[in-house]
């Protein structure tokens, strides 16, 4: 092996050793609870959706940082588990965030598929507002405003399309809005964001 390769190998090893030391120093700053755990929240980097929440010990956080796959500690089974190891729906972690107290972390990443074992995108699909409003089990996701708005517009569009095929094509303000992107954007811009969520509030 030529000397230049040896030097490159030594340099790579030194860099890796330095990275390992940095990760260890970072893990030293975490305030683990009496069971050696912190709360670990997996969040979708694009939609902002909270996908799931588990607990992580030092090994779980280190594994996540090295493999870039969200890894947790199962309190019931007393072992490490990587989300997706049975379903193949891994969560690819792009960054890990610590809170101000360093006792709670976010795995910010991109999921390969639905996170919940039920097949839902996120584990948080039961809305108290829905249940209290209708006495039926809520099934919507904890969508933030822009994604909720996207859902509402999609729903309105479907309703309009159904009306068009089943009844007379009568004039409708919603239809006019949906057919005129400029008008729709203007309407969206000038309505307070909270207006979109009124239907889903606990009030």
The residues binding a copy of itself (CB under 8 A) are 19, 22-23, 26, 39, 41, 43-50, 52-53, 65, 68, 93-102, 104, 106, 108, 110, 116-118, 120, 123-129, 131-132, 135, 142, 144-146, 193-194, 197, 200-203
Of 93 and 175, nearer to a copy of itself (C-beta) is 93
CB of 7 to a copy of itself, least distance (A): 23
Could you give the CA distance from residue 101 to residue 65 in angstroms, rounded to a whole number? Answer: 20
Of 21 and 158, nearer to a copy of itself (C-beta) is 21
Could you give the CA distance from residue 75 to residue 85 in angstroms, rounded to a whole number? Answer: 17
Contacts of 48 by beta carbon, 8 Å cutoff, 6+ apart: 144, 147
CB of 44 to a copy of itself, least distance (A): 7
Structure tokens belonging to residue 159: 């309703």
CB of 98 to a copy of itself, least distance (A): 4
Of 166, 120, 160, nearest in space to 140 by CA: 120
Of 33, 35, 32, nearest in space to 75 by CA: 35
Of 146 and 158, nearer to a copy of itself (C-beta) is 146
- Contact in structure between 82 and 69 (CB atoms under 8 Å): yes
Of 153 and 200, nearer to a copy of itself (C-beta) is 200
């Amino acid at each position: 092996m030529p000397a230049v390769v040896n030097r490159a190998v030594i340099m790579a090893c030194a860099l890796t050793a330095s990275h390992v030391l940095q990760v260890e120093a970072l893990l030293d700053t975490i305030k683990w609870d009496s069971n050696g755990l912190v709360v670990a929240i997996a969040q979708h980097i694009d939609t902002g959706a909270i996908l799931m929440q588990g607990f992580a010990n030092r090994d779980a956080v280190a594994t996540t940082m090295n493999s870039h796959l969200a890894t947790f500690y199962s309190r019931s089974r007393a072992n490490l588990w990587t989300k997706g190891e049975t379903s193949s729906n891994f969560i690819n972690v792009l960054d890990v965030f610590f809170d101000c107290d360093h006792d709670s972390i976010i795995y910010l990443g991109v999921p390969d598929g639905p996170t919940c074992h039920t097949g839902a995108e996120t584990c948080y699909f039961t809305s108290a507002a829905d249940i209290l409003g209708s006495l039926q089990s809520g099934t919507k996701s904890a969508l933030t405003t822009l994604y909720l708005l996207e859902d509402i517009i999609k729903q309105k569009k479907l309703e309009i399309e159904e009306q068009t095929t089943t009844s007379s094509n009568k004039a409708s303000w919603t239809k006019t809005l949906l057919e005129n992107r400029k008008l729709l954007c203007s309407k969206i811009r000038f309505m307070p964001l909270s207006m979109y969520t009124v239907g889903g509030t606990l009030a």
